[in-house]
Structure 1
Amino acid sequence: MADKDVIMTKIMELHVKTSEIKKYKNGFPLITKDAIKSTDALVNEGDIFHLLDNNRQFIAKGYYGKQNKGFGWVLTGKKEERIDFRFFAGRIETAVNKRQSLYTDPNTNAFRIFNGEGDGIGGLTIDYFDGFYLINWYSEGIYAFKEYVIRSLDVLGQYKGIYQKKRFNTNGQYIDDDDFVKGERGEFPIIVKENGMNYAVYLNDGAMVGIFLDQRDVRKAIRDKYANGRNVLNTFSYTGAFSVAAAVGGAAKTTSVDLAKRSKAKTIEQFSVNGIDFEQQDIIVMDVFDYFKYAKRKNLKFDLVILDPPSFARTKKHTFSTSKDYPALIKDTIGITEKNGLIVASTNNAAFGMKRFKGFINKAFREMNIPYKIVEEFTLPEDFKTQQNYPQGDYLKVVIVRKQK
């Protein structure tokens, strides 16, 4: 790539609507269509723009990159700061320095080293997996700075290899091409450690790698505090990461349910790399909503139920949206949860906050006329840095609830 400083001789000007000026002056990072008077000046993704107020006074500088959230991200409030290699290297080095305790943790070698706008560059995340870096690009705009980001990782020191995921087609989905960038190609799966537990990870096999790093604290809590002796149901189980944590924590038995056919083999693999006999666990390929009906017919009850559904899902029989359907999901769960049993309710939907999410839980228990108690709450772990002026960035909400009757 040619040097962006040479390419970008002209800086675009975006005029902020009067009602939105204060928000951007206070550091709001996301450029939304509703906030800008006109987006006509935006032509090539990766172009740099200045945000201006009604008097054409400078507010902030950012880049144009379309994704499902908006049109780009603010990068700096300093007019003279250049968006060049030094800028990217500085932001990435600062982020890595904040995570030194994780780099030196003997029990964990998989974590996030750069979390988008929380670390100063929206649309970009970088994860670390036992010597490998995985870059997630969320728009063509941020991908235009690819060489700066890769050079920044080179400056940090030794690594085994770099992989990438392009998540910027028109639907914000993953673009399936060669994920390998440079260094050595991994022999997958690589077995990473998280709080002493093992997880098989694939950096070269589609959009998902096999584990969601943002749930690290929740998995630890399930293992250390909630699983021992319990009969555990893990719904929307993906590769069974929560089931592994429960089994390692002494669960009497785990049942993992997911509609995806490959989830069974993936879950077997995760149990196996932890030395757990998967044949002593139940791994079921089934629509979760059908499983609830099945469990009710068979009068199955669980001491601990884990709910971590996708924000939106459509199957042949069901359409599920967390914004509308989570209370009904909780009600289905209450019906198969033992008295004094626990429900781990989780969502990564950024469209609403913790208060509204707790409202979903309250609505479900109230309509079932069953008392409950909130035992513990989680948001994102420390490596998923967020920005105070952008609460939507703190998307993860997990509430552990005890059914009291």
Structure 2
Amino acid sequence: MKTLTLKHAYAAKIKKGFPLILKEAVFSKDDGISEGALIELVDEKGGFLGKAYYGEQNKGVGWVLTQNKEEPIDQDFFLSRLATAIQGRHQLFQSAETTAFRVFNGEGDGIGGLTIDYYDGYFLIQWYSKGIFAYKEAIIAALDEITDYKAIYEKKRFSAAGQYVEDDDFVKGERGEFPIIVKENGIHYAVYLNDGAMTGIFLDQRHVRKTIRDRYAEGKNVLNTFSYTGAFSVAAALGGAVKTTSVDVANRSLSKTIEQFSVNGLDHEAHDIKVMDVFEYFSYAAKKQLGYDLIILDPPSFARTKKHTFSAAKDYKHLLKEAIQITKHDGVIVASTNSSAFGMEKFKGFIDAACKETGTSYTILEEHSLPEDFKTLQSYPEGNYLKVVFLRVHHR
């Protein structure tokens, strides 16, 4: 096992349970360390900090696996971590209402750089570095030992540019007939595990979709921006929304949204689906003096269209100001971000500034973060990336 020495300040963080080995934390690196290598972490005095694997991912060069010097990193290690994670989702596995959820959430379940999602009998593994991918055989052998499944699919999220690596996503089992129809709180969603980086639904918004359906949609005119496959729109329609309008710049969003309405027995023609830039839609809606009772803002952390570049950290306040202009008096905005670049306090700062600058007041109705299957560590707040605020807007 190779040794990696960490600078004093970072060694203290690791002792407190911080799981990521940041690039700048490394005091000296043995050039012979390759992706997937097991490494022993020591402080500048040579004191043991933990065992980790080496794998370059965003700002990190690896993840701590154990702080127990005696614990071997072998097949049993992977088996025990996966078994604990699966046992922790026992209630979800038993649910008749929900058949898609996260089974293993990276560092929150003890192995950073790895996520496993469950889609009604199918597992989808996402590998975030070549380092963790080196353990593919051990991890799949562990899944074989402790679960039954129809098939395993995978996504490799680790090119040099940090982009998704395209290839055949099927690993083993019986190939699925896609789309497969999963359930989430009784809502049906069409899912593809073999069609690029995204499956058709973001599982981390499960509670938010249920909240919209159960408490905010009835009788409302709803605008869903950056709507992707229209999952929020479907939830709102099933909750009794008078009408939903889904807006997304991607061409595929039209057919994908029609499909999500259809698998729920909803008439998509009773709703609007617009393929256009969200900011252009805001201008159009303001010009036409359209107003909405409920607006859902769930943009990607970063997006680029021909005319606009959007970064949540820089542009969320502007996005909110645009939305406020077309929200009816006492209407509700569901402000959501998956950016790990800032925390909830800063996010609420964007909300406050947007309302002040548009001369509106607001009431925060409720807040959400990741659901319980997206397990996180208190010592690693960056892992708890999802921030959702329901706010009622009062025009003065």
Shorter-chain TM-score bucket reads over 0.9
Ranges in structure 1 where 5+ consecutive residues have no aligned partner: 1-10
Rounded to whole Å, the distance in 2 between the matches of 1:360 and 1:40 is: 43
Which of 34, 42, 49 is equivalent to 1:52?
A: 42
Q: Deviations over 1:196-255 (max 9, x none)?
A: 000000000000000000000000000000000000000000000000000000000000
In the alignment, what sits opposite 1:368?
358
Which of 71, 74, 77 is equivalent to 2:67?
A: 77
Q: Write the mapping of 1:227-266 to structure 2, written as runs, cut at 5 A.
A: 227-266=217-256
Q: Deviations over 1:6-41 (max 9, x none)?
A: xxxxx1211111122211111100010111112344
Which of 351, 376, 385 is equivalent to 1:395?
A: 385
Aligned residue pairs total: 395
Rounded to whole Å, the distance in 2 between the matches of 1:182 and 1:69 is: 32
Q: Is the 8 A contact 2:23 2:59 kept in 1?
A: no
Q: CA 1:42–1:335 in structure 2 vs 1: closer, same or farther (change >3 Å)?
A: farther
Q: Is the 8 A contact 1:235 1:257 kept in 2?
A: yes
Rounded to whole Å, the distance in 2 between the matches of 1:12 and 1:277 is: 60
Alpha-carbon shift at residue 42 of structure 1 (Å): 5.5
Q: CA 1:226–1:42 in structure 2 vs 1: closer, same or farther (change >3 Å)?
A: farther
Same amino acid, percent of matched pairs: 64
Q: Deviations over 1:88-136 (max 9, x none)?
A: 0100000000000000011000000000000000000000000000000
Corresponding residue SS for 2:27: coil
Q: Is the 8 A contact 2:85 2:104 kept in 1?
A: yes
Q: Write the mapping of 1:1-400 to structure 2, written as runs, cut at 5 A.
A: 11-41=1-31, 43-400=33-390
Rounded to whole Å, the distance in 1 between the matches of 2:6 and 2:55 is: 17
Ranges in structure 2 where 5+ consecutive residues have no aligned partner: none
TM-score, reference length from structure 2: 0.99
Letter in 2 for 1:242: F
Corresponding residue SS for 1:246: helix
Rounded to whole Å, the distance in 2 between the matches of 1:208 and 1:310 is: 13
Rounded to whole Å, the distance in 2 between the matches of 1:211 and 1:157 is: 23
Letter in 2 for 1:37: F
Rounded to whole Å, the distance in 2 between the matches of 1:259 and 1:98 is: 38
Corresponding residue SS for 1:392: helix
Rounded to whole Å, the distance in 2 between the matches of 1:40 and 1:236 is: 45
Alpha-carbon shift at residue 69 of structure 1 (Å): 3.2
In the alignment, what sits opposite 1:8?
none
| Aligned residues: CA RMSD | 0.8
TM-score, reference length from structure 1: 0.96
Rounded to whole Å, the distance in 1 between the matches of 2:281 and 2:270 is: 19
Q: Deviations over 1:126-148 (max 9, x none)?
A: 00000000000000000000011
